[in-house]
């Protein structure tokens, strides 16, 4: 028992900066609320009740968290190799479209084949889309921050074009037809939209942890991220490692996109992602760049989003306070020295 | 084919300049920041917040030029914030920039709801009227393209020239470039590395402020949700495409502005899908970064500077 508490203490210490960042963000958020004539107690209260109060709230919270789990894993996987994949949004969209196309193209396939096929298509095309910046980085030295960002916009417009033209369903909305029922991921908490995509996400959290910590590939990727020169000298093929980590990163985002289509929307609608890829970056950072931490951080964002809707309905606080809170957490997490500064100050007063 | 040629009118070029203006302002902002060794992907959010601030200040104070002033102040403060996080607290530049972008989206929508009761768009305010340049406006064709514009367009042209002079013809500019290229050497030579970085980020934010003010007060005379629509990111593309040089970035902005203006007109014809044209700036930038059209080298390695 003693041992369990000790490990818990160690683990908690690791995420202390994140917890402090969340706390300060909520504090600054209260100031914003007070300054604009709202009661923070009422607002946050409504938010918590909205997120956990009933089955709809819980379902909505987890539904909102699901796609971000994938994009957070995507960001962190590349980050372990020292790469900044800020283009998870693009890979997510490409994977989503691939999943949708497989979903609508076959009918009569057994579900047990159709769903994995659509998810694999998402992973494959998401990975392929990340292969472009990987090659540009390793062969031409183009910085992945800019290339992945530019490719995200290319993906937004190209997927938009595909669903307003080639794969468009009849009608005036830019969307594909509905996928075949055989490709639908089951909803696991009816009547909410929560789908089995969440379970795939949880599985991938463990798989990502295992791959990074317990396999040779994971070791090599972390070695490259830690010091690529030393890794090279140690006989690790750095280029291969960089390419693989970025492709796997893209594949993770791609599965997330496909899962979102198969489970929630059941068709690709132009502009369906409110920026899950960008959220992934934020969530991975809030989660301390750890798969389990990212999972918890994704849930936190889910709570804010789903509770935010209730808060908006009940108290009239604009829903955008949630975005503000999210940004504040990122900014405080971005400045680790600031948090350390605070911790040191706090210790002085102990 | 004749339809496409019918589109190429003086109006198209004039609208290309209007489209290019916010991109070019932000691209200049990007140059100052990156020349001093700090990546600023927060330009998008800075521009958005400034676009909002310009409209809000005009709404309350009644004068659009006070709106521009507000935009400049907000831009300077956001530049300072990026500086505090990345310089003083040695935070990651990409993360800080992303945080600023998200903060901008949330804060502007929130305040828009508070002030005007709508998170989608503000009420219309008094905008900045276009001015016509005497003599220039009477030249055929050229006069129609560049003779009548918002004063901010002419301020942009001045800003391009001044930026070039500051960066390449003054001791201050030399220090900026030294700080970006080799901070340790600059420090040894007695340059206050951190101060220069702060100055550059403040300038960067103010230039984004001009861009934002132009978007809201020079175009629609209102603030709309997410109205920058990725122009801050296109500005980064223009900055790279222009080789981190003011004139180059201005040229690239014109090119991107032109493709944007053309895209809007093509939409009405429906020959080439607008989405395909919209990808052009991004694909061009990737090609340039890959070194297909000659190598471009960033002016810095963007590592945070620590005194030994």
Q: Does B270 touch chain A (CB under 8 A)?
A: no
Its pTM stands at: 0.90
Q: In angstroms, what CA-CA distances link A8 with A144, A289, A290, A340?
A: 37, 18, 16, 21
Answer with the residue of higher pLDDT: B5 or B287. B287
Contact A142 B94 (CB under 8 A): no
Q: Cα distance from A105 to chain B (closest Cα, Å)?
A: 24
Give kind and range of the element (H or E) at residue B252. helix B246-269
Cβ burial B250-289 (10 Å sphere, 16+ → b, else e)? bbbbbbbbbbbbbbebbeeeeeebbbebbbbbbebbbbbb
Which chain B residues touch A146 with a CB distance below 8 Å?
Answer: 236-237, 240, 285-286, 289
At A77-113, the pLDDT tens digits run 999 999 999 999 999 999 999 999 999 999 888 999 9
To the nearest whole number, what is the mean pLDDT of chain B? 89
Asked if residue A26 is part of any domain, the answer here is yes
What local confidence, expressed as pLDDT, does residue A206 receive? Answer: 96
Distance CA A297, CA A286 (A): 6
Contact A281 B286 (CB under 8 A): no
Q: Cα distance from B282 to chain A (closest Cα, Å)?
A: 5
Is the confidence at residue A278, as pLDDT, over 90?
no
Cβ within 8 Å of residue A167, ≥6 positions away = A97, A100, A101, A104, A176, A177, A268
Which chain A residues touch B286 with a CB distance below 8 Å?
Answer: 136, 142, 146-147, 150-151
What local confidence, expressed as pLDDT, does residue A205 receive? Answer: 96
Q: Is the bond into A235 cis (omega within 30 degrees of 0)?
A: no
Nearest CA in chain A to B239: A146
Distance CA B60, CA B193 (A): 39
At A317-333, the pLDDT tens digits run 999 999 999 999 989 98
Is the confidence at residue B237, as pLDDT, over 90?
no
The answer to whether A217 touches A244, Cβ cutoff 8 Å, is yes
Show the tokens assigned to A82.
């020292």
Asked if residue B288 is part of any domain, the answer here is no
What local confidence, expressed as pLDDT, does residue A292 receive? Answer: 93
Asked if residue B202 is part of any domain, the answer here is yes
At B60-107, the pLDDT tens digits run 999 999 999 999 999 999 999 999 999 998 888 988 999 999 999 999
pLDDT band at A348 (very low <50, low <70, confident <90, very high): low
What local confidence, expressed as pLDDT, does residue B308 receive? Answer: 67
Asked if residue A10 is part of any domain, the answer here is no
Q: Is the bond into A67 cis (omega within 30 degrees of 0)?
A: no
Nearest to B296 by CA among B42, B44, B31: B31
Residue A328: domain span: 19-30+39-345
Q: In angstroms, what CA-CA distances link B87 with A43, A231, B236, B302?
A: 35, 29, 21, 11
Contact B289 A143 (CB under 8 A): yes
Asked if residue A14 is part of any domain, the answer here is no
Which chain A residues touch B101 with a CB distance below 8 Å?
Answer: 278
Is the confidence at residue B34, as pLDDT, over 90?
yes
Domain count, chain A: 1
Give kind and range of the element (H or E) at residue A314. helix A291-315
Distance CA A211, CA A205 (A): 10
Asked if residue B226 is part of any domain, the answer here is yes
What 8-state DSSP symbol labels residue B63? Answer: -
pLDDT band at A180 (very low <50, low <70, confident <90, very high): very high
Contact B95 A161 (CB under 8 A): no
Is the confidence at residue B289, as pLDDT, over 60?
yes
Contact A145 B279 (CB under 8 A): no
The answer to whether B120 touches A318, Cβ cutoff 8 Å, is no
Distance CA A22, CA B141 (A): 58
Is the confidence at residue B246, as pLDDT, over 60?
yes
Domain count, chain B: 1
Distance CA B69, CA B57 (A): 9
Asked if residue B286 is part of any domain, the answer here is no
Q: What is the CATH number of the domain that holds A45?
A: 1.10.3470
Asked if residue B118 is part of any domain, the answer here is yes
What local confidence, expressed as pLDDT, does residue B241 receive? Answer: 83
Asked if residue A105 is part of any domain, the answer here is yes
Using only the alpha carbons of chain A, give its radius of gyration: 21
pLDDT band at B4 (very low <50, low <70, confident <90, very high): low
- Sign of the Cα torsion B73, B78, B83, B85 reads positive
Show the tokens assigned to B207.
């230039």
What local confidence, expressed as pLDDT, does residue A328 receive? Answer: 93
Answer with the residue of higher pLDDT: A97 or A345. A97
User: What number is the ipTM of this complex?
Assistant: 0.89
Label residue B130 exposed, middle or buried (CB < 10 Å: 0-12, 13-18, 19+): middle
What local confidence, expressed as pLDDT, does residue A35 receive? Answer: 95
Is the confidence at residue A305, as pLDDT, over 60?
yes
The answer to whether B241 touches B285, Cβ cutoff 8 Å, is yes
Calculate the CA B101 to chain-centre distance. Answer: 14
Degrees, nearest 5: CA angle B244-B304-A245: 85
Q: Cα distance from A70 to chain B (closest Cα, Å)?
A: 19
Show the tokens assigned to B139.
């030249």
Residue B62: domain span: 22-236
Asked if residue B6 is part of any domain, the answer here is no
Distance CA B151, CA B130 (A): 6
Distance CA B232, CA B81 (A): 17
Distance CA A268, CA A92 (A): 12
3-state secondary structure of A268: coil
Q: In angstroms, what CA-CA distances link B178 with A274, B25, B183?
A: 41, 23, 6
Is the confidence at residue A13, as pLDDT, over 80?
no
The answer to whether A117 touches A160, Cβ cutoff 8 Å, is no
For a pLDDT cut of 90, what percent of chain B falls above it?
Answer: 62
Highest mean pLDDT (candidates A282-286, B110-114, B278-282): B110-114
What local confidence, expressed as pLDDT, does residue B17 receive? Answer: 93
What local confidence, expressed as pLDDT, does residue A191 receive? Answer: 87
Calculate the CA B142 to chain-centre distance. Answer: 25
Asked if residue B63 is part of any domain, the answer here is yes
Rounded mean pLDDT, A142-171 = 91
pLDDT band at B137 (very low <50, low <70, confident <90, very high): confident
What local confidence, expressed as pLDDT, does residue A1 receive? Answer: 65
Q: Which residues pair with B131 in a beta bridge?
A: B149
Nearest to B39 by CA among A196, A149, A224, A5: A149
What local confidence, expressed as pLDDT, does residue B140 receive? Answer: 79
Asked if residue A13 is part of any domain, the answer here is no
Contact A334 B95 (CB under 8 A): yes
At A37-93, the pLDDT tens digits run 999 999 999 999 999 988 999 999 999 999 999 999 999 999 999 999 999 999 999
CB contacts < 8 Å between A and B, how many? Answer: 148
Rounded mean pLDDT, A203-221 = 95
pLDDT band at B5 (very low <50, low <70, confident <90, very high): low
């Amino acid at each position: 028992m003693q041992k369990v508490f000790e490990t818990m203490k160690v683990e908690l210490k690791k995420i202390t900066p994140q917890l402090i960042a969340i706390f300060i963000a909520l504090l600054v958020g209260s100031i914003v609320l007070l300054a604009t004539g709202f009661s923070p107690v009422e607002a946050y209260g409504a938010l918590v009740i909205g997120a956990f109060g009933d089955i709809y709230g819980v379902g909505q919270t987890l539904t909102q968290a699901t796609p971000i789990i994938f994009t957070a894993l995507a960001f962190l996987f590349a980050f372990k190799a020292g790469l900044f994949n800020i283009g998870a949004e693009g890979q997510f969209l490409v994977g989503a479209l691939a999943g949708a196309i497989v979903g609508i193209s076959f009918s009569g396939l057994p579900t047990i084949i159709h769903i994995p096929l659509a998810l694999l298509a998402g992973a494959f095309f998401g990975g392929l889309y990340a292969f472009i910046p990987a090659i540009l980085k390793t062969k031409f030295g183009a910085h992945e921050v800019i290339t992945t960002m530019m490719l995200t916009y290319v993906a937004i417009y190209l997927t938009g074009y595909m669903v307003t033209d080639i794969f468009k369903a009849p009608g005036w909305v830019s969307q594909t037809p509905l996928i075949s029922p055989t490709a639908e991921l089951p909803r696991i908490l009816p009547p909410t939209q929560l789908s089995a995509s969440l379970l795939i996400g949880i599985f991938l959290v463990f798989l990502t942890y295992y791959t990074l910590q317990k396999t040779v590939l994971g070791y090599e990727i972390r070695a490259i991220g830690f010091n690529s020169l030393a890794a090279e000298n140690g006989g690790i093929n750095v280029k291969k490692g960089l390419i693989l980590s970025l492709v796997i990163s893209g594949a993770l985002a791609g599965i997330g996109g496909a899962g979102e289509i198969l489970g929630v929307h059941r068709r690709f609608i132009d502009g369906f992602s409110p920026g899950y890829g960008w959220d992934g970056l934020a969530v991975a950072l809030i989660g301390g760049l750890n798969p389990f931490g990212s999972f918890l951080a994704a849930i936190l964002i889910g709570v804010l989003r789903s509770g935010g809707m209730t808060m908006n309905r009940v108290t009239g606080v604009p829903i955008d306070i949630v975005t503000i809170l999210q940004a504040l957490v990122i900014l405080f997490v971005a400045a680790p020295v600031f948090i350390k500064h605070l911790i040191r100050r706090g210790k002085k007063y102990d | 084919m004749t339809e496409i040629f019918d589109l190429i009118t003086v109006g198209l070029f004039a609208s290309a300049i209007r489209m290019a203006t916010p991109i070019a302002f932000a691209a200049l902002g990007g140059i100052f920041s990156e020349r001093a060794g700090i990546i600023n992907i927060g330009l998008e959010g800075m521009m958005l917040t400034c676009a909002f601030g310009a409209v809000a200040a005009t709404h309350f104070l009644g004068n659009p030029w006070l709106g521009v002033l507000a935009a400049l102040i907000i831009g300077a403060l956001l530049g300072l914030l990026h500086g505090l996080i990345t310089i003083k607290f040695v935070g990651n530049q990409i993360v800080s920039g992303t945080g600023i972008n998200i903060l901008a989206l949330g804060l502007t929508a929130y305040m828009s709801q508070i002030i005007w009761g709508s998170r989608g768009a503000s009420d219309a305010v008094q905008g900045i009227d276009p001015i016509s340049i005497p003599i220039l406006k009477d030249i055929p064709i050229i006069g129609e393209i560049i003779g009548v514009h918002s004063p901010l367009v002419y301020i942009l042209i001045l800003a391009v020239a001044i930026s070039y002079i500051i960066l390449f013809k003054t001791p201050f500019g030399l220090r900026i470039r030294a700080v970006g290229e080799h901070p340790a050497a600059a420090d040894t030579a007695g340059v206050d590395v951190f101060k220069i970085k702060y100055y550059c980020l403040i300038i960067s934010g103010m230039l984004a402020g001009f861009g934002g003010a132009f978007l809201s007060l020079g175009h629609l005379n209102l603030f709309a949700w997410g109205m920058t629509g990725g122009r801050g990111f296109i500005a980064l593309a223009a900055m790279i495409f222009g080789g981190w040089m003011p004139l180059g970035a201005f040229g690239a902005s014109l090119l991107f502005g032109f493709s944007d203006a053309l895209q809007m007109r093509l939409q009405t014809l429906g020959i080439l899908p607008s989405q395909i044209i919209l990808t052009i700036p991004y694909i061009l930038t990737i090609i340039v970064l890959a070194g297909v059209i000659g190598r471009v080298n960033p002016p810095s390695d963007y590592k945070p500077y620590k005194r030994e």
